Amino acid sequence: MADQRPADQWECPSRDELAGFLRDRLPPEAVRDIESHLSSCSFCESAVQELRADGRGTEVPGRRSDFESLVTVVEPHPPLVPRPLPPRVPLNRLVGQYRLVEQIGLGGMGMVYRAEHLRLKKMVAVKILAADRLIDPGAVGRFEREMAVVGRLDHPNIVRATDAGDANGVYFLAMELVDGLNLGAVNRRCRPLAVADACEVARRAALGLQHAHEHGLVHRDVKPQNLMLSRKGEVKVLDLGLALLRAGARDEDDLTATGQMMGTASYMAPEQFDACHAVDIRADLYSLGCTLYALLAGQPPFGSADHLSIYNKMAAHKTKPVPRVAAVRPDVPPGLVAVLDALLAKDPAARPATPAEVATALEPFAGGADLSALILAALARGAARETAEHATVTTADPPPASPPAPRRWRRGRLTAVVAAGIVAATVGGTLWFSRRADADPAPAVPAGPPDPPVQLAAAPPVPAPRTFVPGQWTDVLDVRPTEFHWWSNGGMSAWNYDPASRVVRMQSFNTQLLSLGRAGAGGFKLQVGVQQTDWSGDFGVFLGGKRGPEENDVQYQFLRLSARGKVSARQTYLLQRGRGQVTRRPEFVPLVITQDLVATLVDPPTRFEQRLEIEVSPLELRSVFWNASQCPLLLTVNRQFNRPDYEGEFGLYFERTSVTVLNAKFMPTE
């Protein structure tokens, strides 16, 4: 079964637990918990249907019962066969009355195209629900709701919808095409913004939010990337895909289950983390306050490296005082500081009641603003940077001795398509945060990329292949690991390498592979020391990493520590061995397929460093130790691997986890 669990779905049952649920082999309490979970998690509901289809929902003869079966069954598995990716809607195809000209945006729910209205000969933005989302009733429902939400709004500070429909099974939403940049891109190019400009942006955004508020809507994802600044100096609110209908919500049911979170963590109100289905307009005002803070200070209130993970951000929004903006912007007047303090109050009751009040409060500080000059300056700086990069690429000077750091791809256009933006990527029934593009601000991306985590600077030049000496240990963390497979999931996953301490810190919400080197045809040993604050597992090592016909496709085998349910009130941990494959295409999120071949119970980790050690002979995995305890069961599937399965890239394996890698050593044995 494809392991496509949404990136943030920490509370989902495992596949084996779902299989046990179908076989009626779980304790009554566990059955009730899973039944309750399935009622609000479309991902697990689909997983149950898939288990039924492939027979795992029926009893397997000869299997031992209860938890023991999970950790001892060894069965042959067929080779991994990736599922076909849904086709991209071809360009020049007709969708209703529109001819698709160019794909200019991508999100977890679908693609955005520059399109031409056949009769009016007018260019618009057409957002199309991805084909692989059509099988998810929740995704279709959210898309239909977005069509209805955007269609009822008509305000100069909100991106207008012009058409919507279902053309031969293709769901689409047509919107005005806005020529400009999102405020995230503007802020990166021109930060810090002048006080008057920042206040005028926030004031006009408040006017748009007031219009939405008067129609019973709460945006729930206000941030710089969801505010557009046009060439004419207009500010427009976009991306209403997460909007909550406060009035008459019963008929639409909001498609949001209790326990889900929607929004972008750096800009979310404290109460939104707990009950996003029950927030009101004051949550948007908190997000607007974070946005104004970011425009003035260069980053949101809790955007520093001290608040890297979503959970750190959540705790900070709920409990920590907001850093004083005057500390980084002494020119911010005290009256504006008071407005920010009110917007960023932890208690919703202490915030302004409506966006109109905020617009009025900001007006005295917006005098002298010139947003037309601001957008022209931002566009000019972007064009100048692209010209400089082009000159670097085409220069006749000799190439440098080492390859330059890879440039982030960006489009060479100045027209940004905004649609009520790309709907935030769905990453699960427990946590659901907005997708943000990995690329540098591209003028043609609807909801533009956010500020990247501060520690994720451009990667240094890729080092030459390392040479290891047989019989001699090498500290493979003496150089920065390379990304064998990496997908930041819109900036939600991030990692940091400290060259001084030779430590890797990872915050991941999806499968990641960091290469430490390349193993040849001979045997070798690998040791990795790790530590977690809360031992949730979902990390390990990978071996035999190879790229497929497509450069971004990879195959590997892995050994992974996983936390499982409690047995006799004690948390249990498994060390698992399996195969993995990642298929990645530009228009879709990576498709990760894994096969867990065997698992064994291991001693629970302590609060200190834990060590995983493996030894590989030229033909097979010879030994596995977890904290000096041997795990012979993991060797029983050696016959399912061949010699080439141990050759290739090796390194660190991460899933949905937060972990620190303290050391890693490698030694060829022959």
Measured between alpha carbons, how far is 141 from 245 in angstroms, rounded to an integer? 14
3-class DSSP state of 542: strand
List CB contacts of 573: < 8 A, sequence separation 6 or more: 535, 537, 561, 562, 563, 564, 601, 602, 603, 604, 605
Beta strand pairing call for 648-668 and 217-218: unpaired
Measured between alpha carbons, how far is 436 from 452 in angstroms, rounded to an integer? 9
CA 520, 526, 532, 536 dihedral sign is positive
Would you call 54 a catalytic residue per the annotation?
Answer: no
Is 431:274 a contact under the CB 8 Å cutoff? no
Q: Which of 221, 239, 284, 553 is catalytic?
A: 221
Q: What residues form DSSP beta bridges with 661? A: 504, 530
Distances (CA, A) of 235 to 30, 198, 229, 418: 50, 11, 5, 12
CA 105, 653, 531, 520 dihedral sign is negative
3-class DSSP state of 162: strand
Annotated binding site: 127
List CB contacts of 413: < 8 A, sequence separation 6 or more: 104, 443, 444
Q: Could you write out the three-class secondary structure of 585-650? A: CCCCCCEEEEEEEEEEEECCCCCCCEEEEEEECCCCEEEEEECCEECHHHHHHHHHCCHHHHCEEE
631 closest CA partner among 540, 531, 514, 554? 540
What DSSP character marks residue 488? -
Q: Record the tokens describing residue 173, joined without a space.
A: 């939403």
Measured between alpha carbons, how far is 70 from 214 in angstroms, rounded to an integer? 54
Distances (CA, A) of 663 to 467, 479, 498: 19, 12, 12
Helix (H) or strand (E) holding 59: none
Neighbours of 36 (CB within 10 A): 10
507 closest CA partner among 455, 434, 553? 455
What DSSP character marks residue 170? E
Measured between alpha carbons, how far is 302 from 293 in angstroms, rounded to an integer? 10
* Residue 338 CB-density burial (10 A; 0-12 exposed, 13-18 middle, 19+ buried): exposed
Cα-Cα-Cα-Cα dihedral of 256, 261, 262, 268, to 10°?
A: 140
483 closest CA partner among 401, 391, 366, 584? 584
Q: Record the tokens describing residue 217, joined without a space.
A: 């809507």
Q: Where are the beta strands (DSSP E) in 454-553?
A: 474-475, 482-485, 494-498, 503-519, 524-531, 537-547
Annotated binding site for ATP: 127
Instruction: Specify the residue for token string 């009641």.
Output: 353
Q: What residues form DSSP beta bridges with 559? A: 541, 577
Q: Which residues are catalytic?
A: 221
